[in-house]
Amino acid sequence: MGDLIFTFSGIRGISGKELNKELVEKIAFSLGELFKDDDRRVIVGRDTRISGLHLEEAVISGLSLANFEIYNAAVCPTPVLMFIKNKLDIKAGIMITGSHNPPEWNGLKLIKEENYLNSSELDIIRKRVNSVDLKSYKNKKIENKIEIINPIPEYLQSLYEHLNFKKLKKKNNLKVVIDTGAGAGKLVTPRLLRELGCQVKSINEDLFVNNVFPRGIEPIAENLHDLIMEVWQGKYDIGFAHDCDADRLAIIGENGECYPEDIGLALIMDFMLQNINTKVKEVFFVTNLASSLIFDLIAEKYGAKVIRTPIGEYYLLNQMRDLRENASDSTLIFGGEGSCGGVMYPPFNSTRDGIFAVAKIVEILVLTGEKISALVSELPKFYSHREIIKIDNNLISPLIERMKTELENEGEKVTQINQDLKFGIEKEYFVLIHPSNTELVIRIISEAKTQALARIYCQTARELLSLVISKM
């Protein structure tokens, strides 16, 4: 399967090359190996990449050959697809999305029960794909069982039940800019904002005539110049931006500042803990190793517990499920991956949800009456720095092993979880070395109380990593 990235975070590659229709059809067919009972329902959705249309055809063909009953949500954000899948108690799902990857990429998120496939399940899929010949199946008469659905209205109606909706709409006079980047969020978030009572300007909503995206897909500062200028020049209260499937969120303040991804989740965490129901006696906030130290300090302020997992939504979902199995009615469990801005709130939606995060941020601004910059200024202050190194997949494991040895020889106390290495001083700084789940790169992420220290820690780790690579 060449340079295809095959992990629980998704099967991703360049559409038409590593990720072609023949392979996608086999992957969809092979998903049937994991579902042996009589419930053959599966849900399918896609983001707005043009290649998604062709991949959707291949997915539906493969699922039909595996005798699935298909619910097709067509263009649909990942959080909406996950919500309606769980609402309808559908066990299987495929989301066709390249998420935040460049437009020539696409991918498949394979879903089982309330989570994505684990490593052993992905191995079953991989082996089946390598061995199966679909020609014999195509000679049989196959009845296509496909139902087109629109889950957006039900998603929004349920979302509003987790807000102080009436008070929010009555008091709301926010001016908001939303930049969906022509992704699937354009079908949901502008509507959400209007129904919450915001004055909304939507930009970069459509693909250009040649099917080019109007900006870089990943919602980071360098791709959000249009949004930053629109908010600042138009004197808007806030700006929001999504990636292509709307599980990520970026926030622009009224002063034109593009906040780090952790900030939105930190504001939501602080607000929820400050306004917690008196019946709640115990709170668990689940996040990953790369998320900011801000969360530890907020949790300490309110007596909550932070649990950190390896990077990847799969791990957070597993941890939340395990906590829920042993939790009482007086326990609140929520969290998210700070690096994407989407919140995970199981009472509403058991997935990373950039749209729900938008709604909660609007609720916070309206009910507090504060500017976003004022709220951010009250949070604990940390600075982050990031570097990346491209790496061949077969070098990752030996590189991480050697890097850990080098760090320990330098006197660092290193924590290793899977292939992630983390070191630092609690509540002061950290450095994380993380082989990406979605790209053939290693990310070096640091955080400290000054920008200079964060940069120094990160660049020093990068230099050591480069030295180790040069010796391999």
Distance, in Å, from the CA atom of 403 to the CA atom of 331, rounded to the nearest integer, reads 40
Place of tokens 């801000």: 294
Query: 137-173 burial, b for 16+ CB within 10 Å, e for fewer?
Result: eeeeeeeeeeeebebbeebbeebbeebebeebeeebe
Q: Which of 30, 99, 350, 384 is catalytic?
A: 99
> Can you say how many angstroms the Cα of residue 3 is from the centroid of all Cα atoms in its chain?
22
Which residues are bridge partners to 6 per DSSP? 11
Alpha carbon 215 to chain centroid, angstroms:
19
Ordered DSSP codes for 233-247: HTT-SEEEE--TTSS
Q: How far apart are CA 349 and CA 271, in angstroms?
A: 19
Per DSSP, the residues of 94-124 read: EEE--TTS-TTEEEEEEEETTEE--HHHHHH
CA angle 245, 251, 256 (to 5 degrees): 135
Q: What stretch of H or E contains 464?
A: helix 451-470
Query: What phi and psi values does residue 67 have, to the nearest 5 degrees?
Result: 65, 40
- Respond yes or no: is residue 350 known to be catalytic: no
Query: CA 11 to CA 8: how far, in whole Å?
Result: 8
- Return the CA Rg of the chain: 22
Residue 431's region, left for phi above 0, alpha for psi from -120 to 50, else beta, is beta
| Residues identified as active-site | 99
